[in-house]
Amino acid sequence: MTSTDPLTTALAALAVPAPPGLDDRVFARWAVAPSRLGDVRVAFTADGPQFVRPADGTDERVFAAAHRARFARPLRPAARVPAGVGPVLRGRPGARPALDLTSGSAFERAVLTATRRIPDGQVRPYAWVAREAGYPAAVRAVGTVLARNPLPLLVPCHRVVRTDGALGGYMFGPQRKIEMLRAEGADVDGLGTLARAGVRYLASDTTGIVCFPSCRDARRITPAHRHGFGSLDDARRAGYRPCLTCRPAAA
């Protein structure tokens, strides 16, 4: 039945369609996707994934509340995650989909961006991340950011280790960290042996280069030409120059 009230009629005449894209500016989307951690929930905006957490053990309301507390945006379900995200979640190397890091501070964005540059199957210490992020004195703060990493798997914080070379903890447990590094081809047992021996760098006397032990170049050093060092200064004093691939000088 059509209203004859003049006020109602006038208000109806003012109604206009919502501006294009308004819905995307108000809401983030979420979908479930398979990953190396099992099924995960992924919240994303038009700029890319924003928040990832395991689906097991939590329901949609808990996930939505955690996302809203951190990003101040409500969620709506979507049919699928953005293109290119699924392969990374499942562990396929090489893919680098766009991420939405806009909600963090400049420091947080720098830490997450630096961490994302660590190659598959390799590890870097927190000090390396701090320097690569542009905050060399903020090693402890780097650990705090990565402990709250909003995008595990997409930002591979499992590839960050303690300064002494020990693997250290992980937000989903140290065993998960070991499993994922092994799946990427890292020699976890070898890295542990070196860390316990106080060896944080490996050098080749044929190339004159010193690397992090997990660097692809360090893996090619034959035992007869391999030398271990506890510090980069010791390696430099012995005549070795830092690798340009793994950039140990950044630690």
CA distance 225 to 185: 23
Q: Is the pLDDT of residue 53 over 60?
A: yes
Q: Residue 135 is which amino acid? A: Y
In this prediction, residue 15 carries a pLDDT of 59
142 and 162 inside one domain = yes
Which H helix or E strand runs over 209?
A: strand 209-211
Catalytic residue among 157, 215, 243, 246: 157
In a domain, 164, yes or no: yes
CA distance 156 to 213: 18
Provide the β-strand partners of residue 42.
31, 52
Q: Do residues 17 and 62 lie in contact, with contact meaning Cβ atoms separated by under 8 Å?
A: no
Which among 250, 249, 229 has a CA at the least distance from the CA of 241? 249
Q: Is the pLDDT of residue 9 over 70?
A: no
Residue of 58 and 236 predicted with greater confidence: 236
Domain count, the chain: 3
Instruction: Find all residues with CB under 8 Å of 245, minimum gap 6, and list them.
Output: 211, 215, 216, 217
Domain boundary among 172, 191, 210: 191
Residues 149-179 have pLDDT tens digits of: 999 999 999 999 999 999 999 999 999 999 9
Q: Which residue has the tokens 């010791």?
A: 234
Catalytic site includes residue 157: yes
Domain boundary among 150, 173, 191: 191
In a domain, 71, yes or no: yes
CATH number, domain with residue 183: 1.10.10.10
Domain range for residue 164? Answer: 106-191
Whole-number CA gyration radius for the chain: 24
